[in-house]
Amino acid sequence: MSPDRAALLRDLRALIIRSTPDLTGPLGEDAPLISSGVLESTTLVSVALWVEDHIGREMDLSAFDLATEWDSLGGIVDFVERHAPSTGRPTPRSARDRV
């Protein structure tokens, strides 16, 4: 696993854990998030903003199947890696870029 991928997984896992106080047990890379109900709508919004920060642009969430693409930490990070700027590395945007 690349250091960049490991950092993305660590940051995403921390975001989901902070946003989901009822979460118990470890959150593995392949654990189902949407299909199991772990990600509720408010947490999903936070994840969408996190993804946008890392790909450097806004997304149309209706353009793909969230339940398929984002049902695991690994799936979300795969999505970020596929849609990151051409350097192949995600570049987080600053809060001021989101305006």
- pLDDT tens for 29-88 read 999 999 999 898 999 999 999 999 999 999 999 999 999 999 999 999 999 999 988 654
Residue 92's pLDDT band, with cuts at 50, 70 and 90, is low
| Whole-number pLDDT of residue 9 | 97
* pTM assigned to the model: 0.83
| Whole-number pLDDT of residue 99 | 36
Residue 25's pLDDT band, with cuts at 50, 70 and 90, is confident
Domain boundaries, the chain: 3-20+32-86
* CATH 3.40.50.280 given to domain 3-20+32-86: no
Residue 96's pLDDT band, with cuts at 50, 70 and 90, is very low
Residue 93's pLDDT band, with cuts at 50, 70 and 90, is low
Query: Which DSSP string corresponds to the chain?
Result: --HHHHHHHHHHHHHHHHH-TT--S---TT--STTTT-S-HHHHHHHHHHHHHHHTS---GGGS-HHHHTSSHHHHHHHHHHHS-TTSS--PPPGGGG-
